[in-house]
């Protein structure tokens, strides 16, 4: 976006709101909150939503395993074909879904990096419906930035951020980005 008075592009300001150690502490707390709410790891299945929900689900599963001393099932759930804007963008390519066994009667924990409008999670509910009937579905997100368009709330949140409409919240993870961080960037246009 350009400043109409000068026709110069609006600068993009970025600020880091959580670094590697803060992301690590948040994930450790989230793992404990999931265990406490579920009274242990019994029946838990963690499903990461691509892109960055997948490494986050793996990390939460590893943290839960380190506390409970037993492995917890984890996989990934692609929601591309369930998006409510698919008709407007019909050329999207589906990603990978990998479910570790049946989800019937399990407690599925959807894991994502950012919760914003809630439409991604709404699509995840539709995707799950085609896979089975979990006993319960929970939601774990590293960042809740508000501005919901659907009645969806997370069960555990790493960081709640009051981001403005013209800001974008980005999660960086070592597995994909070489470092862990949560960054807010002013884009100059509403997201």
Ligand X SMILES: O=c1cc[nH]c(=O)[nH]1
Q: Which residues bind ligand PRP (CB under 6 A)?
A: 49-52, 112-120
Site membership for ligand X, residue 114 (CB under 6 A): yes
Nearest-angstrom CA–CA distance, 159 and 44: 23
Site membership for ligand X, residue 142 (CB under 6 A): no
Nearest-angstrom CA–CA distance, 28 and 135: 25
Q: Which is nearer to ligand X, 112 or 134 (CB)?
A: 112
Q: Which is nearer to ligand PRP, 49 or 61 (CB)?
A: 49
Least separation, in Å, of the C-beta of 106 and ligand PRP? 22
Among 137, 169, 173, 182, binds ligand X (CB under 6 A): 169
Nearest-angstrom CA–CA distance, 142 and 158: 4
Among 29, 58, 73, 168, binds ligand X (CB under 6 A): 168
Least separation, in Å, of the C-beta of 41 and ligand PRP? 25
Q: Considering only CA atoms, which of 77, 62, 67, 48 is closest in space to residue 141? A: 48
Cα angle, residue 61 at apex, residues 181 and 38 outer, rounded to 5°: 110
Tokens standing for 24? 């690590």
Tokens standing for 48? 């990461």
Q: Which does 52 bind (CB under 5 to 8 A by kind): ligand PRP, ligand X, none?
A: ligand PRP
Among 23, 53, 116, 140, binds ligand X (CB under 6 A): 116
Q: Which does 145 bind (CB under 5 to 8 A by kind): ligand PRP, ligand X, none?
A: ligand X
From residue 43, give the alpha-carbon distance in Å to each of 47, 84, 111: 13, 30, 16
Q: Which is nearer to ligand PRP, 82 or 116 (CB)?
A: 116
What is the SS3 assignment for 33-88? HHHHHHCCCCCEEEEECCCCHHHHHHHHHHHHHHHHCCCCEEEECCCHHHCCCCCC
Least separation, in Å, of the C-beta of 155 and ligand X? 19
Q: Which residues bind ligand X (CB under 6 A)?
A: 114, 116, 145, 168-169, 191
């Amino acid at each position: 976006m350009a400043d109409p008075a000068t026709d110069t592009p609006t600068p993009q300001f970025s600020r880091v709101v959580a670094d590697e150690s803060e992301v690590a502490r948040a994930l450790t707390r989230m793992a404990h909150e999931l265990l406490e709410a579920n009274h242990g790891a019994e029946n838990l299945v963690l499903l990461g939503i691509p892109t960055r929900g997948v490494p986050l689900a793996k990390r939460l599963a590893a943290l839960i395993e380190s506390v409970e001393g037993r492995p917890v099932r984890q996989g990934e759930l692609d929601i591309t074909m369930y998006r409510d804007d698919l008709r407007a963008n019909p050329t999207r390519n589906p990603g990978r879904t990998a479910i570790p066994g049946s989800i019937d009667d399990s407690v599925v924990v959807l894991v994502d990096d950012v919760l914003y409008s809630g439409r991604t999670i709404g699509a995840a509910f539709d995707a799950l419906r085609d896979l089975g009937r979990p006993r319960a579905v929970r939601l774990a997100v590293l960042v809740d930035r508000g501005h919901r368009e659907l009645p969806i709330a997370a069960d555990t949140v790493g960081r709640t951020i009051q981001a403005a409409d013209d800001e974008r919240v980005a999660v960086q993870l070592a597995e994909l980005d070489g470092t862990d961080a949560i960054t807010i960037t002013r884009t100059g246009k509403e997201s």
